[in-house]
Amino acid sequence: MQKFFIRRLIFAILTLWSITFVVFGLSRMGPDPLLIYVRDDSYGISEETLDKLRTKWGLDRPFHIQYLRWMAAITRGDFGESIAAQRPVTKIIAERLPATLQLAMIAWILASIPGVGLGVLSAVKRGSMWDYFTRTLALIGQATPSFWLAILMILLVAVRLEWLPPATKAASTESFMTQASYFVLPAMVLGFDPWATYLRLTRSSMLEVLDSEFVKLARAKGVSGKSVIWRHALRNALIQPLTVSALVLASFITGSVFVETVFAWPGIGRLAVQASLDNDFPVLAGVVLLFGSAYVFMNFIADVLYAVIDPRIRYD
């Protein structure tokens, strides 16, 4: 187990290093980021000023020198300064990160609890109309694009029925119920696909456990049906959903770009889109590096959880 832990930790560090290299390389392959200062009117910036800005941002240095300086700053927690906003990238990300984390946690709760519960119910009622209905919903959930579902929910629930606010995040001065109403639509859209994943995964795990020998033995000894399902089958079937939950949470953080853009949510995903439109490579590199780090860390946690929770798994 210790060797597995060390091996996975080294692999995670190498993956993070690869992400930094790719992110920095892609940020230098695009157009000149200083072009955002140039205007079509008569108040454009002179070439001399642009040269000074290139020197300020280190864009006149060779690629490897720029990368090493950037990596040295990253290790100190300094992601540089936004070219468009003229503010530290860490402060910009810190302002947007809480909104994304709040949305991700609510979406995770809306996806995991109903998904696991319906998965158990579908497995227990195998072959029934309820089983076919939930499996159809799960298939639709995994096949529906999140951006299309977001637009549909806005048009139907917010615009046509006027049940919920259409977009953005309520001010902190609003009441709790008003703030909560703004979370409903984006959280439901963000959690719809993972909800279907939880349902299908829990159902397959439950069916495998229900067909196992120890469950058949428990039933032969006269153990009640509810006890077999909740005390014996579910405890073993939850191993896979629990380990996958770390990856699902990471996907909420990294996959919130489309949902936050459609709902005008002031989070990291929308910040990444705006930075790409502005060609603001310090902000874009910081956000992408944050996304990659979150996914690598959650993947590492999932691997460790799987080895710890399931005693049948042994890693040499």
The full DSSP string for 132-164 is HHHHHHHHHHHHS-HHHHHHHHIIIIIIIS--S
Q: Does residue 60 fall inside a structural domain?
A: yes
Task: Note the pLDDT of residue 39.
Answer: 47
What SS3 state is found at 288?
Answer: helix
* 233 and 133 inside one domain: yes
Task: Note the pLDDT of residue 316.
Answer: 53
Q: Does residue 301 fall inside a structural domain?
A: yes
By residue range, what is the domain housing residue 41? 31-78
Task: Note the pLDDT of residue 312.
Answer: 60
Task: Note the pLDDT of residue 40.
Answer: 46
Q: Pick the closest to residue 313 from 248, 250, 240 (CA basis).
A: 240
* 66 and 192 inside one domain: no
* 41 and 66 inside one domain: yes
Query: Is-contact 283 23, C-beta < 8 A?
Result: no
Q: Which two tokens stand for residue 70?
A: 């950037």
Q: Does residue 278 fall inside a structural domain?
A: yes
Per-residue tens of pLDDT for the chain, all 316 residues: 677 778 878 888 888 888 888 888 777 776 666 665 554 443 556 677 777 777 777 777 887 888 888 888 888 888 888 877 788 888 999 988 888 888 888 988 888 888 888 888 888 888 888 888 888 888 888 888 888 888 888 898 888 888 888 877 887 778 888 888 888 888 888 888 888 888 888 888 888 887 777 777 777 777 666 777 777 677 777 777 877 777 787 777 766 788 888 888 888 888 888 888 877 778 888 888 888 888 888 888 877 777 676 656 555 5
Q: Does residue 25 fall inside a structural domain?
A: no
Query: Is-contact 130 279, C-beta < 8 A?
Result: no
* 72 and 197 inside one domain: no
* 93 and 70 inside one domain: no
* 134 and 271 inside one domain: yes
Query: Is-contact 259 269, C-beta < 8 A?
Result: yes
Domain count, the chain: 2
* 278 and 156 inside one domain: yes
Task: Note the pLDDT of residue 50.
Answer: 73
Task: Note the pLDDT of residue 42.
Answer: 39
Q: Is the pTM of this model over 0.95?
A: no
Task: Note the pLDDT of residue 285.
Answer: 84
| One-letter identity of residue 55 | T
CATH number of residue 234's parent domain = 1.10.3720.10
* 118 and 182 inside one domain: yes
* 271 and 291 inside one domain: yes
